[in-house]
Amino acid sequence: MMWSPKTEQHESEQEDSTATLEDIEDTQQVASPVDEQAIARISEARTRLEEFASSELGDAHLVVVSNREPYVHTDPQDGSKWHTPASGLTTALDPVMRICGGTWVAHGSGHGDILVADASGRVQVPPDHPQFTLRRVWLERAEVAGYYDGFSNRTLWPLCHQVYVRPRFEEEDWLQYKRVNEKFAQAILAQVEGKRAIVLVQDYHLALVPEMIKSARPDVVVSQFWHIPWPNIDVLSTCPWHRQILKGLLGNDILGFHVRQYCRNFLGGVDRALEARVLGDKSAIFWNGRTTFVRPYPISIDPETMIPSENATVPELQRHKISGARVLLGIDRLDYIKGIPEKFRAYDRLLREHPEHQGRVVLVQLATPTRSRVPEYVKLAHEVEELAREINERHGDSTWKPIVLLQRLLDQEELAALYAQSDVCVVGSLQDGMNLVAKEFVAARRDQRGVLVLSRFAGATKQMIGALPIHPYDREAYAATLHAAIMMPPEEQEDRMRQLRADLSRHTIYSWAENILREAVQVQRKFS
Ligand code: ADQ
């Protein structure tokens, strides 16, 4: 019997859908045909965006703005070393900027950043093959503490994710947030001076920027994409400055979220908090003489960047994988929204309830440290390490380590290899705007194999129907789903993976960007 992917209620059916480990091993090596249609669709989407950029953008200067920069120069001596950060936002937008060109304005955070930038903070990137300009904004230590560690990551992040980490409301953080938003706005205004421009603001660090740009340059099109969930007004209004945040965002001509629910929360929130005209049927808000359109734009990736090369490996996987063992994989920033402890506890339960998996599975969890100046993240890092140690002690021995916890940054080739060499990818977020790891796993599986286990609280769950859904807080059902994933017969894996890959090929980062830019260009035509 096929496991129905649509609801978690079907979890009780999993016992019927299982094969034996031997059945799976017999067929695991069989190569599957490549989905040519899906691959063709991806390259068509890229070509469409290229054509759109050259024919429709005209002389409009494109400016992307985010806190995080896409390339970090790390060497304090000569700036020669650099890396790309572990960030969903930069992963998604970098291929778009490579095609469209223009300027990316972001905080210059690397030790070598200043060495390679010109007097205005500009440097051409990617460093090995320049295609667009990165304009770095320099921030003081106190600004980073208040605007980034404070208001962005200790106020807005927990407020929008609602995973029971209490948001902190500190006036000093708010003042720094306003100050840094002003600094970004000034950098953007300098960049677009005397030009027609489309400004694409990214994320929750910069909620006040749109209004600042719009009041200085009403002719510039401002479109913002909010990469995390948007809460309902009862939650949002606990923030003493929620009205200023809403007014800042209403400087946008277009405001995008991943899914409709976040759009509805925003429209409903503005309706209750401000004297604005909210046109629900048009998904538009009329405020202060201007209109803001609120749109769902589910973000995605360029699936072609996740193609594993033949001989690529990850040394830690080679070292710890026991021959014939199933590999479960988690790739997350070490963030409390990603549900890493909950995943470990479900895995622990799986090993207790299914002793047949002892010595025959390994969970490789990449947990890249992030925001390590924020106390909640320091606490989480200890918890995750401690739990992994406990579970390894409880079940493992000198030949088998049930959890392999890795904290380093992988390059794209290693990431693709890890996805391709795993059997099950487990995305257990407690809340997540979208989650690109789920999409990267699917992109890497040209062999049409592998099982995606996906939290019902990740935005991606709305699009990825072939995944096995889990409720990350329901440990019993979570463990049962992990068991079903490990035991899933190859034919069912193929059916699901084919569907997932076909859906992914229809919704790539290129179609995402094209939709956003198309609407921005329409707005611009009204202005000219
Ligand atoms: P993130 O919370 O950063 O993004 P996600 O969408 O999962 O989360 O993207 C993480 C990215 O970092 C992936 O591309 C992944 O491959 C990469 N990564 C993680 N660990 C890595 C490591 N050790 N080495 C190399 N790369 C690593 C936010 C929101 C998400 C939303 C994105 C995009 O929280 O919900 O999907 O923005 O909008």
CB neighbour burial string for 213-233, b if at least 16 within 10 angstroms, e if fewer: bbeebeebbbbbbbbbbbbbb
End-to-end CA distance of the chain: 60
Which structure tokens are listed for 514? 């094209």
pLDDT confidence of residue 499: 94
Nearest CA to ligand 1 atom 4: 88
Atom of ligand 1 nearest to the CA of 410: 24
Q: How far is the CA of 158 from the centre of ligand 1 (A)?
A: 17
Nearest CA to ligand 1 atom 37: 88
Nearest CA to ligand 1 atom 28: 88
- Pair type for strands 197-202 and 221-225: parallel
Nearest CA to ligand 1 atom 11: 88
Which structure tokens are listed for 48? 């469409």
Atom of ligand 1 nearest to the CA of 432: 35
Domains of the chain with bracketed CATH: 5-30+303-507 (3.40.50.2000), 106-301+510-527 (3.40.50.2000)
**pLDDT (tens place) for every residue of the chain, 528 residues total:** 344 433 343 322 223 333 333 433 433 333 344 578 888 999 999 999 999 999 998 889 999 999 999 999 998 888 789 999 988 789 889 989 999 999 999 999 999 999 999 999 999 999 999 999 999 999 999 999 999 999 999 999 999 999 999 999 999 999 999 999 999 999 999 999 999 999 999 999 999 999 999 999 999 999 999 999 999 999 999 999 999 999 999 999 999 999 999 999 999 999 999 999 999 899 999 999 999 999 999 999 999 999 988 888 888 888 887 788 999 999 999 999 999 999 999 999 999 999 999 999 999 999 999 999 999 999 999 999 999 999 999 999 999 999 999 999 999 999 999 999 999 999 999 999 999 999 999 999 999 999 999 999 999 999 999 999 999 999 999 999 999 999 999 999 999 999 999 999 999 999 999 999 999 999 988 877
Q: How far is the CA of 90 from the centre of ligand 1 (A)?
A: 9
SS3 content of the chain, % helix, strand, coil (to 5): 50, 15, 35
Q: How far is the CA of 331 from the centre of ligand 1 (A)?
A: 8
CB-CB neighbours of 128 under 10 Å: 7
Which residue is associated with the tokens 């019902």? 456
Instruction: Report yes or no: 170 and 178 within 8 Å, Cβ to Cβ.
Output: no
Q: How far is the CA of 411 from the centre of ligand 1 (A)?
A: 13
Angle formed at CA 125 by CA 120 and CA 127, multiple of 5 degrees: 115
- In sign, the C-alpha dihedral spanning 105, 107, 112, 118 is positive
Name beta bridge partners: 326. 361
Q: How far is the CA of 336 from the centre of ligand 1 (A)?
A: 14
Instruction: Report yes or no: 42 and 95 within 8 Å, Cβ to Cβ.
Output: no
Q: Which of 68, 84, 87 to mutate to test the pocket of ligand 1 (most atoms within 8 A of CB)?
A: 87
Nearest CA to ligand 1 atom 23: 409
pLDDT confidence of residue 68: 96
Cis bond upstream, residue 355 (ω within 30)? no
How far is Cα 302 from Cα 125, in angstroms, rounded to an integer?
A: 19
Using CA atoms of 102, 108, 112, 115 in order, give the dihedral in degrees to the nearest 10.
60
Q: Which of 163, 224, 331 to mutate to test the pocket of ligand 1 (most atoms within 8 A of CB)?
A: 331
Atom of ligand 1 nearest to the CA of 437: 7
What is the number of alpha carbons within 13 Å of residue 60 lying toward its C-beta?
A: 29
| 503 burial level (CB within 10 Å; 0-12, 13-18, 19+) | middle
The residues lining ligand 1, judged by C-beta closer than 6 Å to any ligand atom, are: 86-89, 91-92, 227-228, 299, 331, 333, 366, 368, 409-410, 415, 432-437, 440
DSSP 8-state symbol, 315 = H
Q: How far is the CA of 368 from the centre of ligand 1 (A)?
A: 10
pLDDT confidence of residue 92: 84
Nearest CA to ligand 1 atom 2: 88
Nearest CA to ligand 1 atom 16: 437
pLDDT confidence of residue 311: 84
Atom of ligand 1 nearest to the CA of 408: 23
Radius of gyration for the chain, computed over Cα atoms and rounded to the nearest angstrom: 23
CB-CB neighbours of 40 under 10 Å: 11
Which structure tokens are listed for 400? 């088998």
pLDDT confidence of residue 257: 98
CA of residue 394 relative to chain centroid, distance? 33
DSSP 8-state symbol, 307 = P
How far is Cα 181 from Cα 149, in angstroms, rounded to an integer?
A: 14
Q: Which of 436, 512, 516 to mutate to test the pocket of ligand 1 (most atoms within 8 A of CB)?
A: 436
Name beta bridge partners: 369. none
Atom of ligand 1 nearest to the CA of 225: 38
| Residue in 111, 106, 112, 109 with CA at minimum distance from that of residue 90 | 106
Q: How far is the CA of 333 from the centre of ligand 1 (A)?
A: 7
Q: How far is the CA of 327 from the centre of ligand 1 (A)?
A: 20
Atom of ligand 1 nearest to the CA of 438: 7
Cα distances (angstroms) measured from residue 271 to each of 122, 293, 419, 465: 41, 14, 44, 33
Q: How far is the CA of 75 from the centre of ligand 1 (A)?
A: 24
Q: How far is the CA of 332 from the centre of ligand 1 (A)?
A: 7
Atom of ligand 1 nearest to the CA of 88: 9
Beta strands in 249-381 (DSSP E): 254-257, 277-279, 284-287, 290-296, 326-333, 361-368
